[in-house]
Amino acid sequence: MAWSWARRWETLLPSDDPATAREVAQGRSYHRSGRVTALRVATGRLRGRVQGNLATPRAVEVAVPVLGDPEWSRIVRLLAGQLRHSARLLAGLQPEGLEEELSAMGVRLLPGPDEVDTNCGCGKAQPCAHTAAVWQAVTERIDEDPFTLLRLRGRGRERLLAELAAERARHAAGTDRVPLEGLGVEGWTRARSPLEALHLPPEDDGGPAFSPLRVLGDPPGWPPGPGAESLFGPLVQRAADWARALRSDA
């Protein structure tokens, strides 16, 4: 089983010699006792303050390289084309398989250990216990919200969602559409092609079948009142359950 982003981030902090290992262990103890405050995660940088054994808290700063626009274009295209990834992100879950798919496209989601620069006001060799405490706090934040890692690497939640919406709009504009006058009532009750020709994808994880409706949101010009998800979600879910039942009976 692949490691989570949080676990991968945690292992980026070196602890290969006894002295460093002691500092990292002390930093984890600081974090567990609630001594990390003012944690701030921004594009390419994170900051925090740690109350150590002295009266004055130590300021810690970590610099992380951001991905360039070409890499983010590939990420956006992949997320826009794989709604399951977007749905898991919005649910606060790490998209399964996303890192491997990006790696195949030449994009490394997590930085390398030699790409991260740490600095602490205590003046000790890095990583010190204060840096390790902040590092552990960010590890916990990534585990709770995977957008934390994406923000560090160059795209915050709002900007990324806006770029995803724009990418889907560009894709929709380039696809063939059926004119409104070409739609008929029979299209709602009669299949336009033989059902035997339908391809069923591999079994999913059992999550809500209407998750894409939640990711896409209401179409432009949607009137006030019940959203598309609340109106069409139950229909989509019933259709998915019916399809699963057919597959299990086959």
Residue 168 lies in a domain: no
Q: What percent of the chain has pLDDT over 90?
A: 44
Host domain of residue 218:
204-250
**pTM exceeding 0.85:** no
- Residue 98 to residue 100: CA distance in whole angstroms: 5
Residues 157 and 232 in one domain: no
- Tell me: pLDDT of 49 over 50: yes
The pLDDT value given to residue 179:
62
- pLDDT, residue 1, reads 43
Question: Within this chain, do residues 155 and 31 fall inside the same structural domain, yes or no?
Answer: yes
Same domain? For 105 and 227 the reply is no
Residue-wise pLDDT tens digits, 155-187: 999 999 889 888 888 776 665 555 666 666 666
User: Do 97 and 47 belong to one domain?
Assistant: yes
Asked if 248 and 147 sit in the same domain, the reply is: no
241 and 154 in a single domain? The answer is: no
Same domain, 104 and 222: no
Residue 199 placed within a domain? no
pLDDT of residue 189: 64
Domain boundary residue, one of 162, 192, 226: 162
d(CA 101, CA 115): 22
Assigned token pair, 243:
């399809």
Instruction: Say whether both 158 and 208 belong to one domain.
Output: no
Note whether 59 and 114 are same-domain residues. Answer: yes
195 domain residue, yes or no: no
Q: Which of 112, 145, 162 is a domain's end point?
A: 162
What phi and psi, each to the nearest 5 degrees, are found at residue 233? -55, -50
Domain closes at, from 162, 186, 213? 162
Task: Indicate whether 234 belongs to any domain.
Answer: yes
Select the more confidently predicted residue: 243 or 206: 243
Q: Which of 112-121, 153-162, 191-200 has the lowest mean pLDDT?
A: 191-200
* Number of structural domains found in the chain: 2
Is residue 90, in this structure, part of any structural domain at all? Answer: yes
Omega of the bond leading into 226 within 30 degrees of 0 (cis): no
Same domain for 210 and 139, yes or no, is: no
The verdict on 143 and 214 lying in the same domain is no
pLDDT the model gives residue 31: 95
Q: At a CB cut-off of 8 Å and minimum separation 6, what does 151 contact?
A: 41, 42, 43, 157
| Cα–Cα distance measured from residue 23 to residue 14, given in angstroms and rounded to the nearest whole number | 10
Average pLDDT of span 186-212: 62
Residue 173: inside a domain: no
